[in-house]
Amino acid sequence: MDQGKISLSEIEEIFKQLIEKLMSEEFEETSIDIDNYWIITADEWSNFENDINPSVGSLIDDVEALKLLIEDSDRPCSFVDFDRFASVLRYISEKMNPPS
């Protein structure tokens, strides 16, 4: 695998394996027990020179916005949806494998 690069086919395979992992754990759905989380903006998350000023995100809002992609076939998918989905995946990860 080429370091520093990831292809669409690799991303597709990773998503497939993540879905298979959820299925093997008999994951059906999750309830959102903790709504708010910290967001580090794109211009700050790789800048180690300055202090960060995190914003607050809402998992409930993220899930509702993502579900609109399913409910409204005319709704365009945006890169903000990637951030929303990443937050949901992180929540699922932490809920199913809590930090010790």
Distance CA 96, CA 10 (A): 24
DSSP class of residue 34 equals -
**What pLDDT score was predicted for residue 100?**
77
* Residue 1: predicted pLDDT: 60
Please report the pLDDT score of residue 16 as a whole number. 98
36: β partners: 58
Rounded Cα distance, 29 and 13, in Å: 22
* Cα separation, 72 vs 91, whole angstroms: 25
**Digitized pLDDT (tens) for each residue of the chain, 100 residues in all:** 678 999 999 999 999 999 999 999 999 999 999 999 999 988 898 989 999 999 999 999 999 999 999 999 999 999 999 999 999 999 999 999 988 7
Q: What is the pLDDT of residue 2?
A: 75
3-state helix, strand, coil in the chain (%, to 5): 50, 10, 45
Q: What is the pTM of this model?
A: 0.87
